[in-house]
């Protein structure tokens, strides 16, 4: 069961972020970690269709966040959705800021594609891995549509 995905940012590596949050996380799970890392790498390159959500641990996620993340998982490669529109679809009109907060703490970036959520004006907005990574992912996905 996958509990969280960490992305590198401009200032810190993904592994360091993980070690800061979960100092013992790598102990005893090398095979699973390597499999997930390979799947995430393929997903980022557009080579993997869908990561199975049943392998994700949603146990500590609130009902609101879970509803938003499940809806977001249905946004297809090459498509984007605005924060406000995602809120509307989740049954929370005018919840654009709350949706942005859900995206900023999405425990499964790449798998649940928060990089596909953009501002109403079409600009990319922010991303856990930085705006350059978000723009890269959107470009790769639009090329492989």
Question: Which residue numbers are catalytic?
Answer: 114
Contact 73, 113 (CB under 8 A): yes
Alpha helices in 4-130 (DSSP H): 14-21, 30-45, 63-72, 83-89, 96-104
Contact 72, 116 (CB under 8 A): yes
């Amino acid at each position: 069961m996958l509990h969280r995905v960490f992305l590198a940012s401009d200032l810190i590596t993904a592994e360091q972020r993980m070690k800061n949050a979960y100092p013992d996380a790598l102990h005893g799970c090398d095979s699973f970690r390597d499999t997930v890392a390979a799947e995430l790498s393929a997903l980022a390159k557009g080579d993997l269709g869908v990561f199975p959500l049943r392998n994700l641990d949603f146990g500590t996620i609130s009902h609101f966040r879970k509803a938003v993340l499940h809806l977001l998982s249905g946004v297809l490669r090459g498509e984007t959705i605005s924060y406000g529109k995602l809120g509307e679809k989740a049954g929370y009109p005018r919840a654009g800021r709350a949706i942005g907060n859900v995206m900023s703490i999405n425990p499964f970036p790449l798998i649940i594609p928060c990089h596909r959520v953009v501002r109403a004006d079409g600009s990319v907005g922010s991303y856990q891995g930085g705006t350059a990574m978000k723009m890269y992912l959107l470009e790769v996905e639009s090329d492989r549509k």
